[in-house]
């Protein structure tokens, strides 16, 4: 029996990492995370001082400095009781949360703190000395303790802060030691990710990983001004809702908290008056199943198979569903031929199924609710699309008259690959024809057979079940229909402005 999906989020904050420096360094763990999702710049807003206190407050509360009122690294006078951080809001809502940090105002009353007012669990390791070595040691201990908690316990939303990079820049400037500190922070990120992936329940969980920085630095070290280097920060994200290489709209620091809420399926209360919004993420391509997904042909196929099966002396039951729904003509014919024990040649069964189904499609097929609007939305957004189906080419040509052949850059039918669904080859062929990595593709399917093919190809999947129920599992969204997908895409487009 499928296990209920468990959505989790981990935010790793690495203080003071210049984007231009990061891009020329070897940071394999952050690079891999970005490759499976995205890494994009974010500019500190004009009214926000380029200091750690204001920037981190904006990142974790989801509101701007005018609301949270953290104007410097002295948090005195803040309004964090009115606009608390995401770990506190989630804890108050009954969700398990965790924070690990070395910088005192984040988790203690030092300098007017704490920024994190009430998470469920806190790990604090203050640096023994306020120098590079002290901060490196603190980050090392914070990482070790956070890795332990992430492995042994079950926080649903976590924030881990690493401060050595920023302190190194302040003390030594943005030279070789600063670059080494960034590489060491990446190593610690790798240990945190490994701790999550080593969880006994990881296969039953859907994790969203976010890595963010708060501000940059001047060459000589230091920040607080309005130069490009100081104002440029960045956000990296990967997770079940973020295809690899995803196109992403304009990002703002206040969007991080909003994305955490979205990643946990926890809609924010309107009374929170968040300024942030979830990331507007677009897949690089959308690969669409046809039968039962875009057109109402799955019922026609079941009826056709049932009629032929009756004539062969094998009435169909629920036990036959897996061998019929989502299957190609040849697979279904083999199943009926074997189950019935008929003396008719297998080729004759194939031909009968083929002819009857084509005739039904030509006279009775209709687009499912939301199908034409979905295709129009994808076309308006400039997202490449492919039709990926287990039906033969003649059936597809008939359906294209209904859907519009111009809606698809590529069509892959049962006649175009050596193996069809549930084998991943059709989806791999479609992605290859579009020139897109399958991990960057969103597949839209209705049947377990098609979902198996798309997931085996490495695609993200949105399921819109038709004849057969589909369970939500980590990395797979189950929607009520195509209209819901249209609304999600249109909402993303509106967020991008």
Q: Is residue 23 classed exposed, middle or buried when 0-12, 13-18 and 19+ CB atoms within 10 A define those classes?
A: exposed
Question: Alpha-carbon distance 419 to 398, whole Å?
Answer: 22
pLDDT above 80: residue 321? no
Q: pLDDT tier at 349 (50, 70, 90 boundaries)?
A: confident
CA distances from 255 to 59, 184, 237, 247, 422 (A): 7, 27, 12, 16, 38
- Phi-psi region at 21: left, alpha or beta (left = phi > 0; alpha = psi -120 to 50): alpha
Residue 131 has pLDDT above 90, yes or no: yes
For residues 19 and 420, give the distance between their C-alpha atoms in angstroms, rounded to a whole number.
Answer: 44
pLDDT over 70 (residue 497): no
Give the H or E element holding residue 495: helix 482-496
SS3 letters across 138-194: HHHHHHHHHHHHHHHCCCCEEEEEECHHHHHHHHHCCCHHHHHHHHHHHHHHHHHHH
Calculate the CA 281 to chain-centre distance.
8
Element spanning 411, H or E = strand 410-412
> Of residues 118 and 319, which shows the higher confidence score?
118
Residues 143-149 have a mean pLDDT of: 98
| 2 band by pLDDT with thresholds 50, 70 and 90 | very low
Residue 434 has pLDDT above 90, yes or no: yes
DSSP string, 7-22: EEEEEEEETT--HHHH
Count of alpha carbons within 13 Å of 406, Cβ hemisphere only?
4
Closest CA to 9 of 282, 269, 279: 279
Q: For 427-449, b where at least 16 C-beta lie within 10 A, e where not — what string?
A: bbbbbebbebbbbbbbbbbbbbb
In 3D space, the residue among 394, 376, 393 whose CA is nearest the CA of residue 385 turns out to be 376
Res 301 pLDDT > 80: no
| CB 5, CB 206: distance < 8 Å | yes
| 80-124 pLDDT tens trace | 999 999 999 999 999 999 999 999 999 999 999 999 999 999 999
Q: Which pLDDT value is given to residue 302?
A: 78
Which of the pair, 274 or 392, is modelled with greater confidence?
Answer: 274
Average pLDDT, the chain: 92
The residue that leads in pLDDT, 2 or 52, is: 52
Q: What is the mean pLDDT of residues 11-16?
A: 98
pLDDT digits (tens, 9 = 90+) for 444-494: 999 999 999 999 999 989 999 987 888 877 778 899 999 999 988 887 666
Q: pLDDT of 169-202, one tens digit each?
A: 999 999 999 999 999 999 999 999 999 999 999 9
Q: What is the pLDDT of residue 126?
A: 95
pLDDT band, very low/low/confident/very high, at 63 (cuts 50, 70, 90): very high
Show the CA angle centred on residue 70, arms to residues 69 and 73, nearest 5°.
160
Q: How large is the average pLDDT for residues 40-64? A: 97
* CB of 421 closer than 8 Å to CB of 407: no
Residue 1 has pLDDT above 70, yes or no: no
Q: What is the mean pLDDT of residues 274-280?
A: 91
Residue 162, phi-psi category: left (phi > 0), alpha (psi -120 to 50), beta (remainder): beta
In angstroms, the Cα distances linking 82 to 69, 112, 113, 274, 485 are 10, 15, 14, 11, 34
What is the predicted pLDDT for the residue at 4?
61
pLDDT at 168: 98
Average pLDDT over residues 140-161: 98
Pairing of strands 205-212, 232-238: antiparallel
For 379-415, the pLDDT digits (tens) are 999 999 999 998 889 889 989 998 999 999 999 998 9
Predicted local confidence at residue 496, as pLDDT? 52
Is the pLDDT at 416 greater than 50? The verdict is: yes
Give dist(CA 213, CA 458) in Å, integer: 30
């Amino acid at each position: 029996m499928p296990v209920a999906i468990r959505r989790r989020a981990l935010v790793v904050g690495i203080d003071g990492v210049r984007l231009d420096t990061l891009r020329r360094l070897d940071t394999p763990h952050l690079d891999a995370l970005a490759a499976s999702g995205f890494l994009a710049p974010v500019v500190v807003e004009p009214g926000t001082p380029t200091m750690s206190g204001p920037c981190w407050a904006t990142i974790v509360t989801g509101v701007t400095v005018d609301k949270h009122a953290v104007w410097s690294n002295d948090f005195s006078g803040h309004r964090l009781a009115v606009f608390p951080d995401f770990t506190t809001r989630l804890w108050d809502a009954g969700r398990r949360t965790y924070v690990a940090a070395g910088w005192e105002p984040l988790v203690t009353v030092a300098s007017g703190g704490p920024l994190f007012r009430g998470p469920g669990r806190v790990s604090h390791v203050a640096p023994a000395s306020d120098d590079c070595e002290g901060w490196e040691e603190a980050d090392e201990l914070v990482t070790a303790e956070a890795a332990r908690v992430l492995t042994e316990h079950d926080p649903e939303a976590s924030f881990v802060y690493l401060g050595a990079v920023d302190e190194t820049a302040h003390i030594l400037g943005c030279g070789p030691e600063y670059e080494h500190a960034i590489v060491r922070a990446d190593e610690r990120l790798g240990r945190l990710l490994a701790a999550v992936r080593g969880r006994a329940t990881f296969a039953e969980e859907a994790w969203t990983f976010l890595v963010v920085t708060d501000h940059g630095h001047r060459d000589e070290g230091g920040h607080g001004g309005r130069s490009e280097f100081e104002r440029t920060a960045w956000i990296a994200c990967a997770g079940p809702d973020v295809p690899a290489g995803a196109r992403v709209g304009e990002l703002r620091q206040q969007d991080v908290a909003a994305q955490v809420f979205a990643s946990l399926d926890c809609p924010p209360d309107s009374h929170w008056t968040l300024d942030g919004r979830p990331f507007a993420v677009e897949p690089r391509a959308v690969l669409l199943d046809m039968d039962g997904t875009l057109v109402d042909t799955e019922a026609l196929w079941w009826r056709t198979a049932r009629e032929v099966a009756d004539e062969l002396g094998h009435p169909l039951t629920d036990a036959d569903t897996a061998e019929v729904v989502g299957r190609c003509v040849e697979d279904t014919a083999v199943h009926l031929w074997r189950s019935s024990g008929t003396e008719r040649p297998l080729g004759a069964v194939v031909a009968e199924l083929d002819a009857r189904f084509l005739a039904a499609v030509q006279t009775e097929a209709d687009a499912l609710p939301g199908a034409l609007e979905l295709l129009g939305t994808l076309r308006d957004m400039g997202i490449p699309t492919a039709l990926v189906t287990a039906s033969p080419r003649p059936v597809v040509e008939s359906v294209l008259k209904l859907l519009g052949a111009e809606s698809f850059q590529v069509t892959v039918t049962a006649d175009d690959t050596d193996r069809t669904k549930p084998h991943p080859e059709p989806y791999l062929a479609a992605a290859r024809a579009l020139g897109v990595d399958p991990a960057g593709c969103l597949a839209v399917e209705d049947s377990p057979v098609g979902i198996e093919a798309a997931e085996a190809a490495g695609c993200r999947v949105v399921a819109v079940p038709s004849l057969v129920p589909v369970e939500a599992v980590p990395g797979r969204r189950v929607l009520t229909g195509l209209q819901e997908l249209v609304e999600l895409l249109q909402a993303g487009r509106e967020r991008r402005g």
